[in-house]
A and B are shown apart, each in its own frame.
Chain A
Amino acid sequence: MSAPSLSDLVFFLIAGLTVVSAGGVAFSRNIVYSAFSLMGTFLGVAGLYIFLAADFIALVQVLLYVGGILVLLLFAVMLTHRIGDIRISNRAVGSLPALAAIAVVGAVMAKAVTSAEWHAAEVKPPGPTAAHIGNLFLTDYLLPFELASVVLLSALIGAVVLSRKELRD
């Protein structure tokens, strides 16, 4: 057992940040703290993506999750809640059955992770990925790419329709 290298230490640091802040999301008693812990989780996951040689996806993660989804969640929290009232803001019920359920699921999945013989490929040194991803999007994955734009458009229109009061009445 050799001493861990610097990159291993950084990996464990980032993985620890991710897991601890995800625990904050799951167990915090205040919904605003949950939202801010979620930011730590998203940034930690972006760090893991960089470790996995996925620089473009890490950038997309920071832009879209931290810059988009998280801000949207915080807006929804602010718009719908009496923030000061911690008692109602993030109530959790049925913790014990849920803990039992995730213990069972976790045991099965941990067994699967550790016992399966995963196919191992040659690990390439990290390099820029955006050009490869762009090429794949415009060749092999052209149809899903176009469908994705339709999905986004319909989500946009749907959100506008759902949140306009006078249209629902």
Chain B
Amino acid sequence: MIGLHHYLIVSLILFLLGLFCVLTRRNAIGILMGVELVLNSANINYLAFARYSSGGYDGQIFAIFVIMLAAAEAVIGLAIVLGMYQTFQTIDVDAADSLRG
């Protein structure tokens, strides 16, 4: 029987992979992909707790807000990436060190 723990473990693995992606990637788009993985794992947690632990619909509402904010974040992030590409001709985050003292 599938229970709450199965979902929590799947979402834990997704979170760790997303964290690994964010920590190791030097490509700004790769980092954004890692952030999307982390947000998806948080959403799985919201829905799993909404089904098995609270029984209401509030978790689903929060999942929709997370998806909405993820869309806004992706749009702004990619606009910044494009601006960075026009300025530095690369999207390697190590190259953008103009503010380094």
Contact = CB atoms under 8 A, between A and B. Distances in A.
Interface string A33-64: 01100100110010011011110110011001
A54 B10 CA distance: 17
Residues of B contacting A: mostly: helix
Interface string B26-47: 1101101110110010011001
Interface size class of B (residues with CB under 8 A): 35 or more
A53 B5 CA distance: 16
Given A106-B12, A158-B79, A162-B80, 17 more contacts: A22-B17, A25-B17, A25-B33, A38-B36, A38-B37, A68-B71, A73-B32, A76-B78, A80-B81, A88-B92, A105-B19, A121-B53, A123-B52, A133-B61, A155-B71, A155-B75, A162-B83
Interface of B: 1-2, 4-10, 12-21, 23-27, 29-30, 32-34, 36-37, 40, 43-44, 47-55, 57-58, 60-61, 63-65, 67-72, 74-76, 78-83, 85-86, 90-92
